[in-house]
Structure 1
Amino acid sequence: MSARRFPGEAYRVWHLHPRWSLALRGAVAAALAWGVGMIVPPPFSEYPYYAPLGAVVATTSTLARSVRESAQAVGALLLGAAVALAVDTVMSPSALSVALVVGVAMLCAGWRALGQMGTWVANAALFVLILGQGEEAQYVGAFAGLVLVGAAIGVGVNAVWPPLPISPSEAALDRLRDALAEQAEALAEWLEHRGPLAPEEWERRRAGLRPTIERARAEVAHTSEASRGNLRARRHRTRATAQAARVEALGITAEGMDEIVRLLVTWEREDLDTVALGPELRPEFASALRALAEVLRAQADAGAGVGDRSRADAGDEAGAGTDDPVARLARRIEELPGDVRAARERSGEDHLVAAALVVVLRRSADALEA
């Protein structure tokens, strides 16, 4: 790699790995919180390590989440302290009091309002019960106060330098797009050259696509959450909107591919006397699947979004005889009902599954063209 290209490549890699910026924000927030913990007056300065702890809790992957989890952590801490103080007033320190505190605290940890920070209830209760003996009020004030200060610093660092993981979302959507194209091409190849499907193999392929779909949706949802209250999001609003459209379109296409494979695994298999397509219709549907894969392959630029043209435009181009992939897919799907009718007339079979496949393909094509 040339020295001239290195800064741009480093910038791209940095944005593809948001964990790096998260670690840097956490380190900065923890260092600032430690400094504050060291200069505050006693008794707070006796426990400076609790401030970085609060900063780490608050330095999460989105600004909205950092505010929410900071509030939950402080609430869990105070709840745990209350449990410990309540037990301490009626029992002297012992194995029984520890067991009682932990048991009650773990029950409280399940409170939905605390979310993932519920685990702090038991930790805080044990800290107050064991480490705060003799000066519980002072300890609770220092513990809660410093965690709150550290959390405020963490939220502040996130607000000044808010995360916005657009690049990882685009990469996840690109992987989904490529996986769908590969699935469509593989299915077309099978129909053209191998005939009926092998159920076990195609069920594995069908199941193998689901993690990619779920990852893409999770990444886009994460970006959407990161956009809340994020000033940087204003500069990337167009990209974020395009991502939402992409995940919707690719989600519909993924559901369509899943349904197509499911129908063919059920109705286009060697152990059936009457199959969904048969030798006459397999090439026609394989051609449509290849056209679908070509549309997906043509959308190589993730930033361009999915479907930059309307269906009407695609129809106009189809009429003009263009080789545009979107137009070719629209034209091929429009021809399928005629192919199914002709096959029905020649064979006398209903071909209901073939008709259902046409509907699924059209829905996928509409999603990609919208």
Structure 2
Amino acid sequence: MRGVDVVEFRQSLTVPRPRGAVAAAHRAWLSHPRWALAVKGAFAASLAWFVGLVAPEPFAEYPYYAPLGAVLATTSTVVRSVRDSLQSVAAVLVGAIIARAVALLPLPGPLELAVVVGIALLCVSWRIFGEMGNWAVMSAIFVLILGSGDGADYIGSYAGLIVVGAAIGIGVNVLLPPLPLTPSELALGRLRDGLADQVESLASWLENEGPLAPEEWEDRRQQLVPTVERARAAVAQTREASRANVRVRYNGNRHWVDSQTRRAGALGTSADVVDEIVRLLVEWEREGRDDVALGQQLRPEFAGTLQAFAAALRTAVTRDTANEPDRAQKAAEAVDRLDESIKGLRKVVRTARQSSEYDYFVAGALIVKLARGAGALRV
């Protein structure tokens, strides 16, 4: 092989690798919003520190308070950063007032500190402070211990620099607003897969094992709860982050946000349906009951409908179904098959009622739950 050919061959092997590495790094970056948060927080804190250093006296004596406000404002969404900044400044001022007021009393040092902390802790739960009430305690302690000599200057510098730092942090947040679409997408995917896995396991158990083992299936039901809560929290955070967010308006992310909201509602309803089905079966389809929900006659039919439900879960709730006609068609067909399976199950239950002494009321309730799940998946 000639020298030029060798070089070209080596380049053909090595050129794609950086692209793959860059793509992987980009995916990792999007999947871990804390990394971007750390970079923004570090930048805002450094900028606030510089502003504190060049500020006029007495502010320049306490430049380290400006980064506190900057970090506070960059650790949340744009809307929340403004609210949190205002609440924290209010808490800081209240804490400072408490410290200066108690300092006027002739109290010994330990008792003075105890009174200041006690009063500040009573203010922590004030609704006006929201989640920033702890700043009142921090402020009261700082002002009491560090600002005893020049109280007015210290309080003004402390509160003023936090305000300046918070303003810098809010500005950074507005320019580089967080929008954790990828983490919430991953959370929805984990919820979808977790629900489908549990429905498939339930179908397999009914078909092969018969009545449920209450303790085991109660544990399985509880294991899914954190996944549901994390998905709901992630989507709620994304919705909040989309408010006052230029990335939503100008980067075409509004459709993605709306899609996640719809799919989160569908999966939330599906999670409730799965939870209610497991609850009913744990109570009514177990050993030791004479009036079971399904019995040997209905278990195979119900298991088949559960398999159709799991298939609809896996295909109907994905990000791309709204953008790709083929996948949307497959999703719609999966839900149609679930509807047909539910209709067939209804007929089997009617026939079973006519030829049995049981009313199968619980079986009817299970069908209603499945119909609700099918309706939710039509997004």
TM over 0.5: yes
Where does 1:231-250 land on structure 2 (aligned, <5 Å)? Answer: 231-234=246-249, 235-250=252-267
Taking the aligned partners of 2:53 and 2:320, their CA distance within structure 1 comes to 47
**Match for residue 278 of structure 1?**
295
Q: Deviations over 1:28-70 (max 9, x none)?
A: 0000001101111111101110111111111113111111111
Match of 2:92 among 62, 74, 77: 77
TM-score by length of 2: 0.91
Give yes or no for contact 1:242–1:306 (8 Å, CA) kept in 2: no
Matched, 1:351 2:360: yes
Please identify runs of 4+ aligned residues in structure 1 that moved more than 6 A: 306-309
Q: Distance in 1 between matches of 2:120 and 2:369?
A: 52
Inter-partner Cα distance in structure 1 for 2:56 and 2:143: 20
For 1:369, what is the secondary structure of its paired residue? coil
Which one of 206, 220, 236 corresponds to residue 221 of structure 2?
206
How far 1:348 sits from its partner (Å)? 2.7
Q: Distance in 1 between matches of 2:296 and 2:346?
A: 17
Q: 1:226 to 1:163 in 2, by over 3 A?
A: same
User: Tell me, which stretches of 5 or more residues in structure 1 are unaligned?
Assistant: 318-323
- Structure 2 CA distance for aligned equivalents of residues 353 and 306 of structure 1: 39
Which one-letter code corresponds to 1:195 in the other structure?
G
Mapped to 2, the partners of 1:196 and 1:274 lie a distance apart of 12
1:330 aligns with 2:357: no
Q: Tell me by how many angstroms 1:211 deviates.
A: 0.8
SS in 1 for 2:165: helix
What is the distance in 2 between the residues matched to 1:61 and 1:5? 31
Q: Which residue of 2 aligns with 1:5?
A: 20
- TM-superposition CA deviations, 1:153-179 (whole Å, max 9, x none): 011110100000011111000000000
Out of 7-16 and 198-207, give the one that drifted further.
Answer: 7-16
Shift in CA distance, 93/304, structure 1 to aligned 2, threshold 3 Å:
farther
The percent of aligned pairs where both chains have the same amino acid is 55
Cα separation, 2, equivalents of 1:240 and 1:122 = 38
Identify if the C-alpha distance between structure 1 residues 349 and 308 changes in structure 2 by more than 3 Å, giving closer, same or farther.
Answer: farther
1:267 aligns with 2:292: no
The reply on whether 1:298 has 2:315 as its aligned counterpart is yes
What amino acid sits opposite 1:341 in the alignment?
Answer: R
Change (3 A) 1:326 1:95: same
Query: Cα offset for 1:91?
Result: 2.9
> How many residues are treated as equivalent by the alignment?
360
Give the secondary structure class of the aligned counterpart of 1:5.
helix
Structure 1 residues 308 and 103, CA, compared in 2 at 3 Å: closer, same or farther?
farther
Does structure 2 retain, via aligned residues, the 8 Å contact 1:52–1:150? yes
Aligned to 2:12: none
Q: State how far apart, in whole Å, the 1-side matches of 2:254 and 2:194 are.
A: 27
Instruction: State the TM-score, normalized to the length of structure 1.
Output: 0.93
**C-alpha separation in 2, matches of 1:356 and 1:341:** 13
Equivalent of residue 168 in structure 2, options 141, 153, 161 = 153
| 1:268–1:278 CA contact under 8 A, matched in 2 | yes
Secondary structure, aligned partner of 2:18: coil
> Deviation per CA, 1:64-114, whole angstroms, max 9, x where unpaired?
111111111111110011111111223356222111111111111121211
Query: Aligned partner of 1:335: which letter?
Result: G
Write the distance in 2 (CA, Å) between the matches of 1:218 and 1:303: 22
